[in-house]
Structure 1
Amino acid sequence: MGTMDPTPEPPGGTRNRNPRGKGEQLRADIVAAAVRMLDELADDQALSLRAVAREVGIAATSVYIHFADRDALVLAALEQCLLDQVAAIEEAEEAATDPVAKLRARTLVLGDWAYQHPGLYKVLHESTLNQRSAMAFKAKLFEGTTIAVRRCMDAGLAPADDVDAVSLDLRAAVHGTVSMRVNQPDLPWPPLEEQVDRFLVKLVGVAAPSS
């Protein structure tokens, strides 16, 4: 008769141990669980590493093997969210036919993502973690908007201007309306598409869309 394994099962259910070399899969599972929970909690400081471990079905010590503390896990989860956004943006831009359409498409993807994931949006852009961490990975979104605006100017579809300033104005306007939609959903909001079109006309200087 074999010896019984004295190791207690992890809280929240059992999980097969990852074979040697499968640590990255476990890390990905932990990050995915954190993403789901942050979207529900809308508050990074409400996230518990023990709760994440229960969600994955592992011992809490297994989480600490991959992440030193809660902030490290939250940052990894937010970076994964951003990578997913970038992939969706690139897909939308590829389907668009001209520089203005590409800029509009990427802007709408960002707005739609926030609508679908208001909790993650709040953690990514409004949490105190923004004061504790530079979140350098967010620069990819900012740079993408600047490149998209520059394409419009280079194609003669928007007046030549300080592309960095115009890009910043556009990002500020979009984040402003998205944040207000997330935090004050009961206001009489027009369709996001209409607001984005007004931003593109007034801030970037593209032609108004034909009705």
Structure 2
Amino acid sequence: MAYSDFTLERITKIFGINIEERTNVFTAFDQLTVDAFFIKYLQNNIPLAQAISTEKAKSEMIIAPVLIEVRRLLDNKISLFSGIDFNVNIEQGLNGFCDFLIGLSSQQLYVTSPVIALVEAKNDNLKQGFAQCIAEMIAAAQLNQSEGNNVENIYGCVTNGNQWVFLQLTGNLVVVDLDEYYINQPEKIISVFVSLIKSESNRKQI
């Protein structure tokens, strides 16, 4: 069993997770000003990625550049992992391949202090990606607990490159933000990522 094998029903039963759907979960954040060169770069990539229309193209041309820009805006003080095995608890099925992970530590040798798991939706079906994303978020929470990291919230994101949906795990509660963000407004997406990371980074230092 691996992250991609989970269903929402299985997650709620195995881990005692409650899932709530809400609106306006992440709308209070200030919108950042994103580098004009990056916006132009992304605008050039989007039509090509959509024309190729493969998950690999969207990952390389849209998703990865957005996350790299997030890292740049945070002075490269976070870690960004792509396409790695994240094996935390094999007995519980919390193992397998992750599309992207963001950690609060700047070192890139291994994953530590994970705070955001991002799943690329398969076949453009965002809802099918929720279970995998939540499983990875639970694994991140378990790793932080075992490492003694002061990370209260774990965040998730499911995207098909065009639509971006954010999630939050606190204790045994997962909140799915029903407000979808779109890549034609990358400033909003990037602002959410940066704000979430900053909030947990500040808490971790307390």
TM-score (norm 2): 0.29
Which structure has the higher relative contact order (CA within 8 Å, separation 6+)? 2
Larger Rg: 1
- The structure that is helix-richer by fraction is 1
- The structure that is strand-richer by fraction is 2
TM-score (norm 1): 0.29
